Amino acid sequence: MTLLIVVLDIDRSGSDIGILGAPFDTAVSYRPDFPRQTTSKLNVNLPGARFGPRAIRAASARQTSFRGFNPRRGLNPYTSPYTIIDCGDIPVTPFDNALALHQMTSAFLELGSRVPAFVHSTNPKPKLLTLGGDHSIALPALRALNKIYGGPIAVLHFDAHLDTWHPAKYPSAWPSAQSDFTHGSMFWIASNEGLILNGSSAHAGLRSRLLGWDDYEDDERQGFLRISADDIDEIGTVGIVSAILERIGTDTPTYLSLDIDVLDPGLVSKARISSATLMSDYQQCPGTGTPEAGGWTSREVIRILRGLETLNVIGADIVEVAPAFDGTGEQTALVAAQVGYEILTSWVGRGMSEIEKVKGKDDESRASGNRKDEL
């Protein structure tokens, strides 16, 4: 099954945008074990987000090239000069996180190092939109981008949680070399590896509980701007867009990472639960692993994403969609598919705008040369 209506092609040497599934979720840390259990007993590492890529692809079935025109941008990303392909899923093991990290990094590096198909593209390399999978997949993506672009990049992180947690402050019951690697510590690891541009990155939609002020102090050392979910009440979507653009700028290579739990759980879905008692307890639980109340609406998130088209986003992910907890209407997956469509539209739109700028400069240069010849 391929994303949207793009062609499945893992061997093509040239593409401009690649869609890639990362069915990995063994770095998760929490999920109430329901509806199989009637208690609030925690089931650590409960699988679910590994099925996210399949769910998002299925939810994108109504998106076609015939009706893919985006009126807010005035273009159809699927019929543009840019080649968009679905690269399928990374073959990733659920039994060894160290090996899984290697597999994902290798896949991102191989696909992201190819030559763009569109000869007029201003992008030096193809852009990858990754479908998770839990949020830890951002670490191998950043490792690959660091090698491809030769240095640290900015991160724009939509999430209810910081995900810059210091692993030592959230110890595992069975410490190991891999226990530090979770879907809440991957940006801490990435920062310590020099993969993230300190002072040019931002969180958006934060609202989770903390261990204490230490969490913010650790985050500040990693150079993130924090935008809380509540900030939207004070400055609106326009203010949030302005704050992000001011922080990151429009030229800085940026990785966009969107955890679906940035959305309010009451506005994402209703869980498929037959018990009336459980329904009263969990009726607003979304199709994601670590829901937090008080989040943004899908309309607000999409509005913000549209306002950020001028960012130099060189890669992106949509993560933590867990269809086992989604409603029968696939609400969470549908939102994720729409977010993917908006990201593709913005990539194509920004690319076309950049081409027009280059063309305009070339025309101006030729006109200037002609005037000199006449003199």
DSSP assignment, residue 6? P
Q: Are 56 and 1 in contact (CB under 8 A)?
A: no
Dihedral (C-alpha) 99, 105, 111, 112: value to the nearest 10 degrees? Answer: 180
| Ligand-binding site membership of 180 (annotated) | no
CA 136 to chain centre: 11
Q: What ranges make up the beta strands (E) of the chain?
A: 7-8, 17-22, 84-89, 127-132, 154-158, 201-206, 224-228, 254-259, 313-319
| Ligand-binding site membership of 161 (annotated) | yes
Q: Are 290 and 261 in contact (CB under 8 A)?
A: yes
What is the C-alpha separation between 241 and 149, in angstroms, rounded?
25
| Residue for token pair 């992180």 | 157
| Ligand-binding site membership of 363 (annotated) | no
Alpha helices in the chain (DSSP H): 52-59, 97-112, 138-149, 186-192, 213-221, 231-248, 276-282, 298-307, 331-374
| Ligand-binding site membership of 261 (annotated) | yes
Please provide the distance, in angstroms rounded to a whole number, between the alpha carbons at the two ends of the chain.
62
| Ligand-binding site membership of 96 (annotated) | no
| Ligand-binding site membership of 373 (annotated) | no
What one-letter code names the amino acid at 98?
A: A
Q: Which residues are annotated as a binding site for Mn(2+)?
A: 135, 159, 161, 163, 259, 261
Q: Which residues are annotated as a binding site?
A: 135, 159, 161, 163, 259, 261
